[in-house]
Structure 1
Amino acid sequence: MSAPLRRVVVVGGGVAGLATAALLAADGHDVELFEKNDALGGRAGSWEQDGFRFDTGPSWWLMPEVFDHFFRLLGTTTEEQVELVRLDPGYRVFFEGVPGSIDVAADEQGNRDLFESIEPGAGDRLGDYLRSAREAYDLAVDRFLYTSFETPAAFLGRRVLAHGPRLAGLLARSLESYVAARFSDRRLRQVLGYPAVFLGSSPDRTPAMYHLMSWLDLADGVRYPAGGFTRLVEALADLARQRGARLHTGTAVTEVLTCRRTTARGDRRRARVTGVRVVDADGTSRDVPADVVVGAADLHHVETRLLPDDLQTYPQRWWDKAVSGPGAVLVQLGVTGRLPELEHHSLFFTEDWHANFDAIFGTPTRVPDPASIYVCKPSATDDTVAPPDHENLFVLVPVPPDPDIGRGGVDGAGDPLVEAIADRAIDLVARWADVPDLADRVVVRRTVGPADFVADVNAWCGGALGPAHVLKQSAFFRAGNVSRKVRDLYYAGASTVPGIGLPMCLISAELVRKRLAGDTSVGPSTEPPADAPADAVPDGTVDATAGVA
């Protein structure tokens, strides 16, 4: 039986929203997406000036099999949608107080050799570490990522029970302590602890379970989509449109519309969705009817701004107890001349990490100085992002998630603290990487501050990533993807399960699709046959109303 037509509105045109629109439109639903900004992409945005084009958000392509699976659900492949370049070395790391740098290799053996050259015996220990990381990663993909934790199957599967004691141990200790028990050299500990930042946290606040992240960058490798991450956004938007979704930009959703209902046994939700209210670019307000609404914007915004108090599953008091990932000051620099001192990805680690992370996550917060920073130089790989004989630099400085730090601007026009943070970051790169004239070679400069994240993507408290992956906000402890107060209201994106990052956003879209199809299975959805036509409805969508939560 084919799926009956349901009118679906997706709120937010970031990666999660576009992915949700594409999957649900492919399943036969009537899908409209509304994005308040003039361009799609959300955090995965783009900015151009004077021949430079900057990605303004994600810059690491990890977990390639998640992208492969997602595209196959839509009858296509990653190769058909984007051209991926494998980075070798994966990234370069500079350490405060240690001359020179180290290059992290593109494969496991290269990194085992690297670790052995720094600390005798560390090569074999890294091999053991990565085997454990791979086991944890495979278990996570198989049991914990592609599920909304609706049934006991997510907790009671044979693999979960077999690994129960080990999982408990990995959840009970920090990533920092897990690494420190195996490696002595500070540089190696920092390389293995850094993935916590991808999760919006710090090594001492992140469960050791997340050592699985090291499998991704130290063994599986780091990739880059030619043309930049805007190519992913374009591919998702094209796929959604090809399958019938209608995508609207410059149109803000101001309210999720509901009607009150009498609660039934087993379903105590007080209302059901009837549509959304939007404001078009010309200021015109109108109501758009819908049978299903998917909030793919920041969850705090959807819950606390688009719903009345009594229909909020996650009201402000819930957020007052939640832990945000870091804020960020972003610095986009167009630089004349080449910078061989930097790789496509370069990391700059301060010696006292605890002080660095405590400044961001502790109480009271402060802007760390010096700060551990990340620098992306996509012009090392992609000659389309900068004019000839110029470099494109994207600098990320983690700071507290505090909008009071301010907004950025072009050519130094941002708020004073944001520009001061940017100046210090440029100086740090110049000194540690031995590029003394770096500041003088800047021909394009733009900064972004925490207040910009609030204004541009409705980010909760100015955070750059979303709720941190501390224990109480990981796996089944993370915010769920369905409203407990409003029937047919769902959520997708980094704020909800399974979490932060582009792959997680794609999975969150699939989780919404599974909920609408009444699919409570644990693990990735069944893919259509390889020879199925591109517009074929993915397998497993026989009745979109069956089992709808």
Structure 2
Amino acid sequence: MSGDLDQTAVGFGLDPVDELPDTAGSDSAPAPAPHVVVIGAGIGGLASAALLARDGYRVTLLEKQLTVGGRVGSWEQDGFRFDTGPSWYLMPEVFDHFYKLLGTSAAEQLDLVRLDPGYRVYFEDQPDPVDIQSSREANVALFESLEPGAGRRLEKYLDSAKGTYDIALKRFLYTSFESVTPLFVREVVSRLGKLSSLLLRPIHGYTARVGRDLRIRQILGYPAVFLGSSPFTTPAMYHLMSHLDLEDGVLYPMGGFVGIIRSIERLALAEGVTIETNAPVTRILTDGARATGVEYRRDGATRTLDADVVVSAADLHHTETALLPEDRQTYGEAYWRKRTAGPGALLLLLGVEGEVPELEHHTLLFAKDWTENFDAIFGRNPSVPDAPSLYVCKPSGIDASVAPDGMTNLFVLVPVPADPALGTDDAERERLADRVIEQIAAWTGVHGLSARVRVRRVIAPSDFASDINAWQGSALGPAHTLAQSAMFRAGNRSRTLENLFYAGSSTIPGIGLPMCLISAEVLVKRMRRDISTTPLAEPLSPTVRPRRAAQPAPAAE
């Protein structure tokens, strides 16, 4: 993959490269490279730090928690190890490209296994589940068995999904939209009619092209939840997600998703990044139109750290409203009052005695009253649905490292309203968890599930708010509605401070691990003043300072 080099310029505001004299070959030592402070060591912050260090900056990464990872957490008890965040490995080419920018590859860093079936779906009041297969051909046959003619229509739907995905990857994901000029190319202009149509209608209506059977529409519409939204408000543009799970297939990194975080942390350290954990940032320091550094807490003391550039990969609402003075805010409270948060989540981490063959690695439970279910979460009077649609991950089926022999590891995610008060009452969260466990057992036929639970932890929106400063306790970030997608999503640069930038799920291109990796690359392009839409050339070549002697990227442990 390569960027359009003729459109690339180095610098941000007053270019630090231009400000520093070239002292190579002189008696004096070279001036140090510009210093970047990155706030937040979730995957977006780690990736940003690693790429900026490779680009030649000195980088310090500050993280509030004791460990890096942000939403991609890990928890262990009694021989069970749980991922506490993302669990779907999609868009593998995005991961591989990111690793190649750092001189390695996904194959070198991760042990990836293809899931077959990709996932299982249970439908309320339907006796038999549906297994989504790992190939397009098998899924076409599956849809045909659900509704005559649906297989043929799915073929056209997937052709459209792949075409939309390809154009999004090439023209809309790897850009900051600082300039729209690169978008005026034939392959975009020729598709403007279709793209506009896809943006202006919800995905729920678009799925009717494939079939009227509710099962079909739920399978095709549910990926909207991965985007922090509802199929009734998510633009049909995102039907591209069906290319990922129905055609590309679903992978799993052995050892869990925390292994992805550990690999990026190793790569960042190898690039020279300084990482400080247990160091919550309390203020971004400013002087006029520039950020001058940050104030943070460490070992009970308040400290300051000077910076030539500040990058916040923390929650954008928290960054803007808690770390900046009101007159320096680009996205103040008035902005957020008009925005839609993605759903909150009730997470259940369950260590279960015995095997649970009724569940696949990924299992979805879909409520019959689809409209009411989503209205309860996103409507004007939000509440936890009585029988919610939900998701269960069972990694122990293929990964022995996550549970003791003969035991089952279950991660349950229940979409709930984004409400930071939800979960503050311990008794309430446990009652909700009991109800969810009973629902899973009743719908899937798992015998005696509640009595077999040996390890249990419940995480609620209140935990997301306190642990990672998530806006409204959202588990994902701002929802991907039309007004919060692509060029309409919050940008990655402050409009009041010329050297303050953003990365992560709150900003472009959006929610999910692949999007956060892309956000780190778009950050680098923005700081270089690169307005191209295509990914950068592999491996990343430094533009700020010549690199020290090349070091091989550290391999997976």
Query: Above 0.5 in TM-score?
Result: yes
2:158 is aligned to 130
Kindly report which structure 2 residues correspond to 1:284-323, keeping only aligned pairs within 5 A, or say none.
284-323=301-340
Task: Give the counterpart letter for 1:275 in structure 2.
Answer: G
Q: Which moved more, 1:340-349 or 1:116-125?
A: 116-125
Task: State whether residues 526 and 540 of structure 1, in contact with CA within 8 Å, keep that contact through their aligned partners in structure 2.
Answer: no
Matched, 1:327 2:344: yes
Task: State whether residues 56 and 545 of structure 2, in contact with CA within 8 Å, keep that contact through their aligned partners in structure 1.
Answer: no
TM-score where L is the length of structure 2: 0.91
Deviations 1:184-223 (A, max 9, x none): 1111110000100000011111101000000000000001
Query: Among residues 429, 445, 450, which one is paired with 1:434 in the alignment?
Result: 445
Deviations 1:265-299 (A, max 9, x none): xxxxxx2011000100x211111000001000100
2:178 is aligned to 150
Change over 3 Å in CA distance of 1:157–1:541 after alignment to 2: farther
2:431 is aligned to 420
Query: Among residues 526, 540, 543, which one is paired with 1:541 in the alignment?
Result: 543
Unaligned runs of 5+ in 2: 1-8, 11-16, 21-32, 547-557
Task: State whether residues 107 and 220 of structure 1, in contact with CA within 8 Å, keep that contact through their aligned partners in structure 2.
Answer: yes
CA distance in 1, matches of 2:82, 2:143: 33
1:533 is aligned to none
CA distance in 2, matches of 1:224, 1:120: 33
Task: State whether residues 144 and 154 of structure 1, in contact with CA within 8 Å, keep that contact through their aligned partners in structure 2.
Answer: no
Task: State whether residues 360 and 368 of structure 1, in contact with CA within 8 Å, keep that contact through their aligned partners in structure 2.
Answer: yes
Query: Among residues 215, 218, 231, which one is paired with 2:259 in the alignment?
Result: 231
CA distance in 1, matches of 2:147, 2:378: 31
Deviations 1:6-43 (A, max 9, x none): 10000001000000011011111100000010011000
Matched, 1:70 2:72: no
CA distance in 2, matches of 1:513, 1:174: 33
Task: State whether residues 423 and 462 of structure 2, in contact with CA within 8 Å, keep that contact through their aligned partners in structure 1.
Answer: yes
Task: State whether residues 73 and 85 of structure 2, in contact with CA within 8 Å, keep that contact through their aligned partners in structure 1.
Answer: yes
SS of the residue aligned with 1:403?
coil
Kindly report which structure 2 residues correspond to 1:72-471, keeping only aligned pairs within 5 A, or say none.
72-260=100-288, 271-280=289-298, 282-407=299-424, 415-471=426-482
Task: Give the counterpart letter for 1:376 in structure 2.
Answer: C
CA distance in 1, matches of 2:354, 2:215: 30
CA distance in 1, matches of 2:98, 2:186: 26
1:46 is aligned to 74
CA distance in 1, matches of 2:181, 2:544: 22
TM-score where L is the length of structure 1: 0.93
Task: State whether residues 82 and 225 of structure 1, in contact with CA within 8 Å, keep that contact through their aligned partners in structure 2.
Answer: yes
Deviations 1:53-90 (A, max 9, x none): 00000000000000011011001000111111110000
Task: Give the counterpart letter for 1:139 in structure 2.
Answer: I
1:172: Cα distance to partner? Answer: 1.1
CA distance in 1, matches of 2:399, 2:109: 17
Change over 3 Å in CA distance of 1:216–1:429 after alignment to 2: same
SS of the residue aligned with 1:486?
coil
1:155: Cα distance to partner? Answer: 3.3
Q: Which moved more, 1:499-508 or 1:178-187?
A: 178-187
Task: Give the counterpart letter for 2:333 in structure 1.
Answer: Q
2:488 is aligned to 477
1:350: Cα distance to partner? Answer: 0.2
Task: Give the counterpart letter for 1:46 in structure 2.
Answer: S
CA distance in 2, matches of 1:340, 1:60: 20
SS of the residue aligned with 2:172?
helix
Say how many residue pairs are matched: 518
Task: Give the counterpart letter for 2:386 in structure 1.
Answer: D
Q: CA RMSD in A?
A: 1.4
RCO comparison, higher one (Cα < 8 Å, 6+)? 2
SS of the residue aligned with 1:60?
coil
The percentage of aligned residue pairs carrying the same residue is 57
CA distance in 1, matches of 2:149, 2:86: 35
Which 4+ stretches in 1 moved above 3 angstroms?
1-4
1:534 is aligned to none
Task: Give the counterpart letter for 1:287 in structure 2.
Answer: T
Deviations 1:315-335 (A, max 9, x none): 011101100000010000000
Task: State whether residues 182 and 531 of structure 2, in contact with CA within 8 Å, keep that contact through their aligned partners in structure 1.
Answer: no
Task: State whether residues 65 and 279 of structure 2, in contact with CA within 8 Å, keep that contact through their aligned partners in structure 1.
Answer: yes
Task: Give the counterpart letter for 2:157 in structure 1.
Answer: Y
1:540: Cα distance to partner? Answer: 6.6
